[in-house]
Amino acid sequence: MNGLKTAVLLVALSLFFLWVGGMIGGRQGMTIALFFALAMNAFAYWFSDKLVLKMYRAQEVDEASAPELYNIVRRLSSKAGLPMPKIYIIPQDQPNAFATGRNPKHAAVAATQGILSLLSPEELSGVIGHELSHVKHRDILISSVAATVAAAISYLAQMGQWALIFGGSSGRDRDENPLAALAMLILAPIIAMIIQMAISRSREYSADDSGAELAGNPRFLSNALRKLDYASKNVPMQRATPATAHMFIVNPLSGKNLLRLFSTHPPIEERIKRLEGMR
């Protein structure tokens, strides 16, 4: 099902790119946008996970360099019937984590240094269970693709803004409607955020439920979320962007009041309440 959602997302956003290209540069703009969309689709499928990991300077670790994290991931992966994913540590003080990859055989789990120092082993197992649930449910591909596409939309909007500033393109086939183009360029990043919200919020509840079962106790995850929520509001995440915020277990931008309006995560209080209501 998530494979179909990913395909629909890529097709829909490819059409959106064509519309953007047409608004900016007429037929010539649409042609450029078509090639850009095709390249983006291929890149998003094969390399989106590597892009996100590189963006946060994640470093791959093994059992010798991160024994506690490695053992938790290995134990829960075996329990979930999943191949052992690659494990990365992000050199950031904000406690957070995410999973990425195009399928369970090519999955990766990344945790920040902050989360390793903040949580107990039981709480960390709740977080890892949540992330492995995303892997098992094949949420990670659409999540990684959405991050790449959202970043591309924002980049295209910036290109369009510069094109308007410097006069854009000229030609017979260009529709002279600078106000419509300007409105589109302002709305493009917001559309990207709305897309992220649509694909993220319901999946977080599902991953909480199955992750809690995988860890063995829902309070492991609820206690972890309570700590992560407090820390994320007080410890900034360097290099975090709205395009990738939906991938993390808690919103890494939650400390920024304006960006909280575009939160890709359900309210932490509701997530904790649901978990503590589980048997």
Q: Which domain holds residue 154?
A: 2-276
Identified catalytic residue from 68, 131, 213, 276: 131
Neighbours of 244 (CB within 10 A): 27
pTM: 0.77
Tens digit of pLDDT per residue, the chain (279 long)? 555 666 666 677 677 777 767 766 677 777 877 787 777 777 767 777 888 899 999 999 999 999 999 999 999 999 999 999 999 999 999 999 999 988 899 999 999 999 999 999 999 999 999 999 999 988 877 777 777 676 666 666 666 666 666 655 444 444 445 655 666 566 666 666 666 665 666 788 999 999 999 999 999 999 999 999 999 889 989 888 777 888 899 989 865 544 444 566 788 999 999 999 987
- Report the number of distinct structural domains present in the chain: 1
Q: Any idea what DSSP says for residue 246?
A: G
Q: Is the dihedral of CA 135, 141, 143, 144 positive or negative?
A: positive
In DSSP notation, 119-180 reads: S-HHHHHHHHHHHHHHHHTTHHHHHHHHHHHHHHHHHHHHHHHHHHHTT----TT----HHH
Amino acid letter for position 1: M
Q: Any idea what DSSP says for residue 106?
A: G
Question: Is 131 an annotated catalytic residue?
Answer: yes
Neighbours of 270 (CB within 10 A): 12
Mutual angle of helices 178-215 and 268-276, in 10-degree steps: 20
